[in-house]
Structure 1
């Protein structure tokens, strides 16, 4: 049974039982990938270590301002 067939069967069952329809396959893929990518940073902060990567750089830019170009 393919993913599409399984989703259609789940949708049919949910409507028959009056339950909410499940989300379509792939509806939350980008959110899941973002959470997987940011999970090591989350674990570091919970463990008391400083965050690394994009979040830390964004906070540094916000606190200290953007560096001026030397041209």
Structure 2
């Protein structure tokens, strides 16, 4: 039985019993795709190695500025 046939059967049964119709197949696919993308981006940020090189030096200068000499 295909997904469409199962959906039609479930809709028919729900109508006979006076219950609300089930969601159509694929109704929540975009939401699932967004959640999966967000999860992958989160895991990439968590798993990323620490910053090195020029970026780390620039961040260090911003976070810990040295006092200027008054000569």
TM-score calculated relative to the size of structure 2: 0.53
Answering whether residue 31 of structure 2 is matched by residue 26 of structure 1, we say: no
The CA RMSD measured in Å over matched residues stands at: 2.0
Post-superposition, which runs of at least 4 consecutive aligned residues in structure 1 deviate over 2 A? Answer: 39-42
Give the corresponding residue for 2:7. 7
1:1-71 correspondence to structure 2 within 5 Å: 1-40=1-40
Higher Cα Rg: structure 1 or 2? Answer: 2
Residues 20-63 of structure 1 deviation map (CA, whole Å, 9 limit, x = unaligned): 10111111111111011112556x7xxxxxx67xxxxxxxxxxx
Cα separation, 2, equivalents of 1:5 and 1:37: 30
Stretches of structure 1 that go unaligned for 5 or more consecutive residues are: 45-50, 53-71
Stretches of structure 2 that go unaligned for 5 or more consecutive residues are: 47-71
Matched pairs, number? 45
